[in-house]
């Protein structure tokens, strides 16, 4: 028995199973970038990271605030007097001023139309930890949550890996812009029932990752009605709430339940500062539940993934500055809108369309015309060419559990303007080569047909000619054509 097999037996089944999801093409793209990262001078031919939904467009605003507010940090001369208070053990409820700051920020992001109770704010290590914490609170191993597809690939890791909860896709289609329908929900629920799978809830991302769209009031109302009818939970992942950059406005489930009769014990929100403020490294995840029992249970579980007290202290000061928060949200929205416009218009000029969107840090891009055939295999083939030859890490729709081949998520907010231009230039060149390759194939097919016609005539006349038309084209194959051979 090999050493690795012995090691495998010494570890737990959870530690060694493949449910983490790292074998997904979504994560494979990240690995390709990590092994050959683009740099404008040191590695200009490297892979450009278009697979990371990160918001780096407004860092300068936060940096300026930090310079003007040195007391917010315990690592400055001005703020060191708070060091001892912050460094000692903190109750896992969290610093009161931190929870208050988060509650006010959530209200601000939602247009002041709802109020949040700081005592219901539960901390976790990023949205990853918050989503898993919700599963531990709401479901047992083997139970299932419905999730509209396409959905964020990390859900397979965050929600399933350690909890042993199942995810059952609710199929959404491009024919209605991937909107969630009551019929699709009912179909997924009935399939689970027929398979004797216990459905404990529905989890949605609003705004959507990967679609970049927001749910309208009618759809949200229908989702709340659906989970009430079935007496199952609704978990709303709202981590992109402040990335909305054009109409329609974001509507939280919190606003919906103020307007209709429902069992609030079934409603829960996951939030984070990773996307809205671009702070994933600070690992700030939030669970907000209207269910007292869930709040109490989640708070006990949160001791396994608390936000550091130093981070709480800093953010309490930052988020309590209402003038700064207002300026940040307005400017961030403008910058996201500008980058989205540059990117989508650049793609449109090449004949590449995207799903109409108004939120998020990405576009849901259609490369269906570039597929050799409408299959997942063809999508994977195209994706490999884009990674290896175009040197762009984009994420294929199949990794988001999209049932229609040819969709790709492409992120646009994690780089500077110059890198955006390089990325668009590479896409432009690739599309041009693809069109040239297609024209070459048509020309070769015409020549082949011509040869067959001539050959038929020659044999019919019993004449042999020493001259033959060459079957080889002098025009080089495009990467797309090469990939199919």
Q: Which fold has domain 62-325?
A: 3.40.640
Pick the catalytic residue: 26, 151, 152, 240? Answer: 152
Confidence at 22, pLDDT banded by 50, 70, 90 = confident
What integer pLDDT is reported at residue 21 of this predicted model? 72
> Which phi and psi angles does 432 have, rounded to 5°?
-60, -45
Is 237 a catalytic site residue?
A: yes
Pick the catalytic residue: 143, 156, 158, 237? Answer: 237
88: helix, coil or strand?
Answer: coil
How far apart CA 54 and CA 415 sit, in angstroms, is 9
Pick the catalytic residue: 33, 275, 288, 352? Answer: 275
* Conformation bin of residue 142: beta by default, left when phi > 0, alpha when psi is -120 to 50: left
Structure-token match 């400055």, residue found:
76
For 389-417, the three-class secondary structure string (H helix, E strand, C coil) is: HHCEECEEHHHHCCCCCCEEEEECCCCCH
Pick the catalytic residue: 180, 239, 251, 269? Answer: 239
pLDDT, tens digit, 9 for 90 and up, residues 446-468: 445 534 443 444 344 433 333 33
Is 152 a catalytic site residue?
A: yes
* Residue 183: Cβ-neighbour burial (10 angstroms; 0-12, 13-18, 19+): exposed
What integer pLDDT is reported at residue 302 of this predicted model? 92
Domain ranges within the chain, ordered by starting residue: 19-58+332-427, 62-325, 432-461+473-483
Confidence at 217, pLDDT banded by 50, 70, 90 = very high
Q: In the CATH scheme, what architecture does the domain 19-58+332-427 have?
A: Alpha-Beta Complex (3.90)
Does residue 423 carry a pLDDT above 60? Answer: yes
Does residue 280 carry a pLDDT above 70? Answer: yes
What integer pLDDT is reported at residue 25 of this predicted model? 78
How far apart CA 156 and CA 160 sit, in angstroms, is 5
What integer pLDDT is reported at residue 9 of this predicted model? 76
pLDDT, tens digit, 9 for 90 and up, residues 350-377: 999 999 999 999 999 999 999 999 999 9
Is 143 a catalytic site residue?
A: no
Does residue 210 carry a pLDDT above 90? Answer: yes
Least confident of 25-39, 257-271, 307-321: 25-39
């Amino acid at each position: 028995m090999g050493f690795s097999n012995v090691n495998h037996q010494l570890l737990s089944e959870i530690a060694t199973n493949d449910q983490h999801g790292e074998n997904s093409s979504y994560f494979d793209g990240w690995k390709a970038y990590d092994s050959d990262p683009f740099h404008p001078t040191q590695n200009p031919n490297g892979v450009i990271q278009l697979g990371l939904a990160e918001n780096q467009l407004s860092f300068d605003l936060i940096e300026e605030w930090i310079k003007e507010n040195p007391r917010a940090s315990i690592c400055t001369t001005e703020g060191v007097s708070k060091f001892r208070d912050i460094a000692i053990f903190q109750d896992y409820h969290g610093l009161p001023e931190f929870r208050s700051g988060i509650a006010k920020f959530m209200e601000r992001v939602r247009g002041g139309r709802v109020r949040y109770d700081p005592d219901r704010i539960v901390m976790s290590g990023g949205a990853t930890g918050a989503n898993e914490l919700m599963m531990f609170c709401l479901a047992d191993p083997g139970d299932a949550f419905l999730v509209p597809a396409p959905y964020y690939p990390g859900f397979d890791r965050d929600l399933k890996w350690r909890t042993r909860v199942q995810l059952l896709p609710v199929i959404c289609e491009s024919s209605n812009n991937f909107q969630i329908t009551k019929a699709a929900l009912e179909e997924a629920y009935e399939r689970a029932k027929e398979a004797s799978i216990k459905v404990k809830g529905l989890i949605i991302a609003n705004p959507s990752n990967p679609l970049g769209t927001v749910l309208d009031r009618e759809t949200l109302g229908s989702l709340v009605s659906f989970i009430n009818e079935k007496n199952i939970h609704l978990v709303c992942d709202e981590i992109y709430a402040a990335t909305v950059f054009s109409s329609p406005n974001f509507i939280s489930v919190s606003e919906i339940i103020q307007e209709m009769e429902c069992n609030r014990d079934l409603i829960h929100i996951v939030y984070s500062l990773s996307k809205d403020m671009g702070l994933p490294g600070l690992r700030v995840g939030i669970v907000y539940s209207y269910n007292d029992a869930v709040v109490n249970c989640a708070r006990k579980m949160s001791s396994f993934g608390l936000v550091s007290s130093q981070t709480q202290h800093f953010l309490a000061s930052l988020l309590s500055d209402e003038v700064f928060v207002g300026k940040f949200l307005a400017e961030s929205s403008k910058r996201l809108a500008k980058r989205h416009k540059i990117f989508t218009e650049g793609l449109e000029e090449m004949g590449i369309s995207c799903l109409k969107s108004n939120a998020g840090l990405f576009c849901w891009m259609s490369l269906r015309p570039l597929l050799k055939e409408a299959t997942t295999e063809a999508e994977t083939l195209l994706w490999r060419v884009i990674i290896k030859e175009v040197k762009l890490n984009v994420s294929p729709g199949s990794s988001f559990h999209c049932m229609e081949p040819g969709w790709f998520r492409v992120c646009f907010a994690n780089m500077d303007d110059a890198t955006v231009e390089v990325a668009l230039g590479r896409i432009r060149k690739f599309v041009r080569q693809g069109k040239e390759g297609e024209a070459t194939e048509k020309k070769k097919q015409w020549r082949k047909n011509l040869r067959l016609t001539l050959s038929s005539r020659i044999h019919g006349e019993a004449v042999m000619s020493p001259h033959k038309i060459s079957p080889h084209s002098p025009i080089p194959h495009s990467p797309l054509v090469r990939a199919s051979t």
